[in-house]
Amino acid sequence: MSSHLPDPRLDLIYRLEASVGDPQDVGQVSVGHRRIVPLNGGTFSGPELRGILLPGASADWQTVLPDGTVLGDVRYTLETERGNVLYVRSQGVRHGSPEILERLVRGEAVDAAEYTFRTAVKIETGADDLDWLNKGVFVSVGGRQSGGVIYEVYLVG
């Protein structure tokens, strides 16, 4: 028996491009500055899945730390072209240099390679043919755009 473990691989599941609404500012709370950013709609597509983001059931509950780091708790609902509903919860961090984070706050275009935006993702669905999503371990890479956000979600294999 070998003690060598297999290297993990990442398989793209989908790319989500979503529009964001105006943040709802909760204010300073015990863990940082709290705001809620609604995800107003969007589309996703990948090798096996495609569809839309359902507005009204999707937002990012953010905590902004004093250095500008954003801790995200993103919950969104997707509907596939076949009518299956996916509940996605994505928790992670967006951080970078103070200058880059300030540019993001101002809504400027910033190349996603200039900062870190990563999340751990959990996907749930009642669709029998998509049950593999319930059992997967997923990660995502994100990028903020003016008026929107992009997430690429990968299955860790």
The pLDDT tens digits of the residues spanning 35-81 come to: 999 999 999 999 999 999 999 999 999 999 999 999 999 999 999 99
Over residues 85-132, the pLDDT tens digits come to: 999 999 999 999 999 999 988 888 899 999 999 999 999 999 999 999
The pTM (predicted TM-score) of the whole model is 0.93
Instruction: Please provide the distance, in angstroms rounded to a whole number, between the alpha carbons at the two ends of the chain.
Output: 21
Distance in angstroms (rounded) separating the CA atoms of residues 90 and 156: 15
Q: List domains and CATH numbers for the chain.
A: 10-156 (2.40.160.20)
Distance in angstroms (rounded) separating the CA atoms of residues 18 and 58: 10
Distance in angstroms (rounded) separating the CA atoms of residues 72 and 119: 8
